[in-house]
Chains A and B, each alone.
Chain A
Amino acid sequence: AQTVTQSQPEMSVQEAETVTLSCTYDTSESNYYLFWYKQPPSRQMILVIRQEAYKQQNATENRFSVNFQKAAKSFSLKISDSQLGDTAMYFCAFMKHVTGTASKLTFGTGTRLQVTL
């Protein structure tokens, strides 16, 4: 079974600054996906970024980037130029890849990020 650990329950960052959210995972799988989801106060889950385990290059999406360390089983999210709208709960998630089979997501416990003026 897979586990996902987010060791930072809450974090705060000033507007325009950079913040890094940590995530570690444990799995015996070799082929999998990792995700960061954002859940703002509206509670709508929004995909922030996705990483395929077979890709060495770290994924980036505008102000969001990841540091994927496969050997260390670490998958941190960096938010640059933080904006007030980034205030949300952030969940790290794992999904194993099995061809032809729908795989489920395993979520971490979440990190509540507050962006302040």
Chain B
Amino acid sequence: GAVVSQHPSWVICKSGTSVKIECRSLDFQATTMFWYRQFPKQSLMLMATSNEGSKATYEQGVEKDKFLINHASLTLSTLTVTSAHPEDSSFYICSALTSPYNEQFFGPGTRLTVL
């Protein structure tokens, strides 16, 4: 099956710093990737849709200047949390969309802790 990786799997950073999370589709090309945020014991909340070669589409309430998304190639999308604060601490999950089956394969997630 399709494999999606994320790096790093966990990261701890100081308040005010920026953190970049990578999402890679390892054995297929993905023109579209999605970024989710998940708080403990809650469902996945879609943050943005990442499209290769174009600007990301953000969900209502998600600050585009704080959560920068770059989808520079068909196998890589990155999420940068800028000027991170403790409230940004969460589990971030990416997924990549396969075509033509319209199925999302998920990465293993990244746990971000902001001190």
B67 at the A interface (CB under 8 A) = no
Report Cα–Cα, A107/B95, bound state, in Å.
Answer: 14
Q: Contact at B44–A102, with CB atoms within 8 Å?
A: no
User: A109 near B: Cβ within 8 Å?
Assistant: yes
**Residues on the A chain within 8 Å of B105, using CB:** 47
Query: What is the bound-complex CA distance between A38 and B96, given in angstroms?
Result: 17
A103 sits at the interface (CB 8 A):
yes
Contact with A along B79-100 (1 / 0, CB 8 A): 0000000000001010101000
Instruction: Report whether B102 and A95 are in contact in the complex, using a CB–CB cutoff of 8 Å.
Output: yes
Contact call A102/B97, Cβ cutoff below 8 A? yes
A11: interface (CB < 8 Å):
no
A44-B44 CB under 8 A given contacts A102-B31, A102-B32, A102-B97: no
- A43 near B32 with CB under 8 A, answer no
CB distance from A93 to the nearest CB of B (A): 9
Alpha-carbon separation in the docked complex, A71 to B32 (Å): 31
For the complex, what is the distance from the CA of A108 to the CA of B42, rounded to whole Å? 10
Closest chain B CB from A48 CB (angstroms) = 12
Query: Whole-angstrom distance between the alpha carbons of A91 and B95 in the complex?
Result: 15
As a 0/1 sequence over residues 38 to 54 of chain A, the CB contacts with chain B under 8 angstroms (1 = contact) are 00001111110010000
Q: How far apart are B1's CB and chain A's nearest CB, in angstroms?
A: 9
**Do residues A43 and B108 form an inter-chain contact, with CB atoms below 8 A?**
yes
Residues of B that sit less than 8 Å from A by CB: 31-32, 34, 38, 42-44, 46, 49, 51, 91, 93, 95, 97, 102-106, 108-109
